[in-house]
Amino acid sequence: MIMVWRACAFALLILSLGGTAAADESTTLISLRPEKIIIKPGRKEPVDRPRYYYDLYQADIPETLPVEPVSEDDRYRAALFHLYRSSGQNIQAVADARTTLVTLAEAGHAAAQVWYGVQWEFGRLPQGRDTRKAVGWYQRAADQEYADGLLLLGMHRHTAVSDGEVSESIRLWRRAAVAGDRPSSATAAYAVGWSYFHGENAPRNHERALHWWRRGLELGHVPSRYAVAYMTEFGLASKASLRAALPLYQQAAEEGDGRAAVRLAQIYERGTPSRGRAEQAFRYWIQAMGSGRPEARFRIARYFETNTLPVTEIDGEPIPGIALAQVIETYQALARDGFAPALYLLGTFCEQGRYTAKDPELAGQWYELALAFGSEQAVLKLGKPLPPAFR
């Protein structure tokens, strides 16, 4: 947590490059218009979408060259070392490494088959790109119950399914999730849980989502840890328990999960106010900002705009000031990305004549846009329900 805290303190310094030029609420600082928001509303996703990586073989690249590579696995790792780790410019060694990997793939080595498939998929071979051949190599690895092959094959097997059915991709990912302890197994477990949670490519089922996210947690998958914490806190598949969820959030945050840091900041901000809780919330907001979370960027900007910083220094260094114009630009940047609280806040500025001329009609447009992006504040303001995607 200390290292993350120091890194995020540096992020604050970067934010302050605009200086501390004074401005007041009568100064016109807002230039963004609602019609300039071109991003389309998505849907409420309390748990992040799975992130897939193709270059799964990178986990197999050794730090040093294997001694006397005799087995197929040793030859595979040695070839990866020569191809990706060796600092020399030995063209022949690189060519030999590629030949070794192709030979191993053709001989049935599952990991080499996945490597070969990725080369075909991204056109890294002299023959160019060939997705059909790539899928064929993934299939060969999947036939051996190799997790990487099952995961990548599943990414090519997304098919429309009827209610209550499970797509082929989910079937493949379930196999990958129990095929070992590789990073791809954890990714597959998370993807299956996410699909059941949202009812995408599988029937909506919170109990099954929790089951697969727990599998991801067992494999050390950080997003799975956050997902289990979220379901535990809100009792989506078991009895609600913030006490049980809190250590999961804390561990996920320590491992760099920005969404977990956001949730912890929100938890510390609620309840009986105290300086200690406020400072802890601020620390988690800073950590989350370092992870790029829009909620954190918005909250930190609000701290500076409203002059309510709960701390005045970080590790003995005073927190520098941030120009008001830069704070308002942060709001506008978040609004351009469709961040609902920022859209709503711009509406309040227009309604109240803060940082822009008072314009009730323009304020209404901002409120309507905020509603379209899932703002519960806009629901109360306009007396309209949330769009179905955010309910």
- Kindly state the tokens that stand for 242: 């913030």
Are residue 25 and residue 120 in the same domain, yes or no? no
pLDDT at 10: 44
User: Where among 175, 203, 225 does a domain terminate?
Assistant: 225
Which pTM value belongs to this model? 0.88
Is residue 348 in some structural domain? Answer: yes
Residues 206 and 335 in one domain: no
pLDDT in tens, the chain (391 residues): 444 444 454 445 444 434 444 456 667 899 999 999 999 998 888 999 999 889 999 999 999 887 887 899 999 999 999 999 876 668 898 999 999 999 999 999 999 999 999 999 999 999 999 999 999 999 999 999 999 999 999 999 977 666 667 899 999 999 999 999 999 999 999 999 999 999 988 999 999 999 999 999 999 999 999 999 999 999 999 899 999 999 999 999 999 999 999 999 999 999 777 888 988 999 999 999 999 999 999 999 999 999 999 888 877 888 888 899 999 999 999 999 999 999 999 999 999 999 999 999 999 999 999 999 999 999 999 999 999 989 8
Q: 319 and 177 share a domain?
A: no
Count of domains for the chain = 2
d(CA 301, CA 339): 14
Angle at 264 between CA 258 and CA 267, to 5 degrees: 145
Q: Is residue 92 part of a domain?
A: yes
Cβ(289)–Cβ(297) below 8 Å: yes
pLDDT at residue 19, rounded to an integer: 41
CATH number at residue 319: 1.25.40
Out of 190, 206, 225, a domain closes at 225
Pairing type for strands 317-318 and 313-314 reads antiparallel
Q: Is there a single domain that holds both residue 197 and residue 333?
A: no
Residue 208 shares a structural domain with residue 72: yes
> What phi-psi label fits residue 373: left (phi over 0), alpha (psi between -120 and 50 degrees) or beta?
alpha
**Does 263 map to a domain?**
no
Where are the alpha helices (H) located in the chain, listed in sequence order? 2-15, 72-80, 91-106, 110-121, 131-142, 147-155, 168-177, 183-198, 206-218, 222-234, 242-254, 258-269, 275-290, 294-305, 324-336, 340-352, 360-372, 376-382
3-state DSSP assignment of residue 313: strand
| pLDDT attached to residue 87 | 66
CATH no. for residue 123? Answer: 1.25.40.10
What residues pair up with 331 in beta bridges, in sequence order?
none
Can you give the pLDDT at residue 160? Answer: 64
Its domain, for residue 371, covers 2-47+299-390
Instruction: Establish if 275 belongs to a structural domain.
Output: no
61 and 41 assigned to the same domain: no
Are 307 and 379 in a shared domain? yes
